[in-house]
């Protein structure tokens, strides 16, 4: 019985998950990792290194932008917000997902 998901399977959708969580409001690493955890009922736990390297990649591609802000407790955080290009990319990935799902399901029995 498959009980947890190997992240290799998810490869290519970590970016999409992050962008989705930034659609409504800017956020930062630790919060996003907790959101992914709770949204998926602990079924998917993104690795810290995976998450932060995704931030770097997404920013380099112009899909998110970052700014520093002090939290209530005086700690400094790096926040990220989605850019218009990021929103566009997110929509593309959603379309791609539907296609991908259909393709893979041809090979799934039951």
Q: Which residues bind DNA (CB under 7 A)?
A: 6-8, 10-15, 28-31, 34, 46-50, 52-55, 57, 71, 73-75, 77-78
Residue 110's SS3 state is coil
Rounded CA gap, 76 and 68, in Å?
A: 7
Please say which residue, 38 or 110, places its beta carbon nearer to DNA. 38
Q: Smallest distance, Å, CB 84 to DNA?
A: 20
Smallest gap from Cβ 51 to its own copies, in A, equals 14
Residues 57, 12 contacting (CB under 8 angstroms): no
3-state secondary structure of 21: helix
25 binds its own copies (CB under 8 A): no
Q: Give the contacts of 71 (CB within 8 A, at least 6 positions apart).
A: 77
DSSP codes joined into one string, 22-44: HSSS-EEHHHHHHHHHHHTTTS-
Q: How far is the CB of 95 from DNA (least distance, A)?
A: 18
31, 43, 61, 71: residue in contact with its own copies (rule CB under 8 A): 43
Interface with its own copies includes 100 (CB under 8 A)? yes
């Amino acid at each position: 019985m498959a009980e947890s998901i190997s992240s290799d399977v998810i490869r290519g959708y970590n970016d999409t998950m992050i962008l989705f969580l930034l659609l409504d409001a800017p956020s930062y690493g630790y919060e996003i990792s907790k959101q992914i955890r709770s949204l998926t009922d602990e079924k998917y736990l993104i690795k810290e290194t995976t998450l932060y390297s995704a931030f770097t990649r997404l920013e380099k591609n112009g899909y998110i932008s970052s700014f520093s802000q002090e939290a209530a407790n005086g700690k400094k955080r790096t926040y990220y917000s989605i850019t218009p290009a990021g929103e566009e990319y997110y929509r593309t990935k959603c379309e791609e997902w539907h296609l991908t799902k259909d393709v893979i399901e041809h090979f799934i029995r039951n």
